[in-house]
Copies of this chain bind each other. A is one copy, B any other.
Amino acid sequence: MNADLLRQISFDKAGLVPAIAQQHDSGEVLMMAWMNADAVTETLESGRVCYWSRSRAALWRKGESSGHVQKLVDFRVDCDGDTILLLVDQTGVACHTGRHNCFFTSFKDGKSEVIADVMVSPEDMYGKPADPS
């Protein structure tokens, strides 16, 4: 039955669509990653968010190595079908740097500023330095 839903998504030439993850209750935008049709199908069927890692060219089950999984709360598609918004319940932190979300650099008055602290060290999450996917 997900085939009908997949037809409503406009994947790009590489077969991918950007997916924004937002914490369902706080509204915090956690991260943006990419999905292919298999990642969409797995996410809808399992209720746990699965992306497509462009660097590894493989399905990326968020939290598989770190335990910091994203439980799917709602799956939304935008008006022209080319962007997905995932409302999720994030366990732990979303960012591979150990921050709660990935958008911790702010540009203002010609300068950039880091506006969030590391909550978990990447070594504690992965047993090694950070790898974005």
Contact = CB atoms under 8 A, between A and B. Distances in A.
B96 A79 contact: yes
Contact of A29 (B8, B26, B85): B85
A106 B60 CA distance: 23
B4 A83 contact: no
Interface of A: 1-2, 4-5, 8, 18, 20, 22, 26-29, 31-32, 44, 74-80, 83, 85, 95-97, 99, 102-108, 110-112, 115, 132
User: How many identical chains are in the complex?
Assistant: 2
Given A20-B20, A20-B29, A27-B27, A5 B110 contact: yes
A105 B77 contact: yes
B112 A77 contact: yes
